[in-house]
Copies of this chain bind each other. A is one copy, B any other.
């Protein structure tokens, strides 16, 4: 059986954005586990509007880094989560929302699972979508939405501040 036996509550609360990684590869079978948990995220009408492109070649990582200002370190891999607009020619605004929700939920499965097996990750939104599409040879209907960089952590990160529960959770009506 894959995966770790964990307290899932604790796994969720202790995941951090990791921005420094050891110079150590991650096996393709482990990378495939990350995609496996990603593809079991929910999506509107089970549309599964996602493609996952894993960059683990060091030359390609360097090239991608050069067009992604958000990547400040050298990760072991860069996962590009793309959403698909193939066949959607109308109601694009609604499709965009559903696609973003689906790929974000896939991303959350991935970073959570990665943390549970000792892999650190960080989400990156600062990159050039068109340049990535060109570099990888993606068709026009593919939209790179989110990068996940990752590797074995080479830092420990303390918990960032969070708004208190009482400030953001209400019962049965707006209470502010």
Chain A positions 63-80 with a Cβ under 8 Å from a chain B Cβ: none
Q: Is the CB of A169 within 8 A of B52?
A: yes
Within the oligomer, what is the number of copies of this chain? 2
Q: Is A149 an interface residue (CB 8 A)?
A: no
A44 CB contact (under 8 Å) in B15, B57, B125: B125
Q: A6-B7, A32-B165 are in contact. List 13 more A-B contacts (CB 8 A).
A: A1-B7, A4-B8, A6-B8, A8-B11, A13-B37, A35-B165, A39-B165, A41-B108, A42-B111, A44-B125, A53-B171, A136-B172, A137-B174
Asked if residues B3 and A5 are in contact (CB atoms below 8 Å), the reply is no
Chain B proximity of A41: nearest CB distance (Å) = 6
Smallest CB–CB gap between A115 and chain B, Å?
9
- Which residue of chain B has the shortest Cβ distance to A10 in the bound complex? B3
Q: Inside 8 A of A160's CB, which chain B residues have their CB?
A: 46
B-binding residues in A (CB < 8 A): 1-13, 15, 17, 28, 32-33, 35-37, 39-42, 44, 46, 48, 50-57, 60, 97-98, 100-102, 104-105, 107-109, 111-113, 116, 123, 125, 136-139, 142, 146, 160-163, 165, 168-174, 176
Q: Which of chain B's residues have a CB closer than 8 A to the CB of A105?
A: 104-105, 107-108
The closest CB in chain B to the CB of A60 belongs to B172
CB pair A146 B101 closer than 8 Å: yes
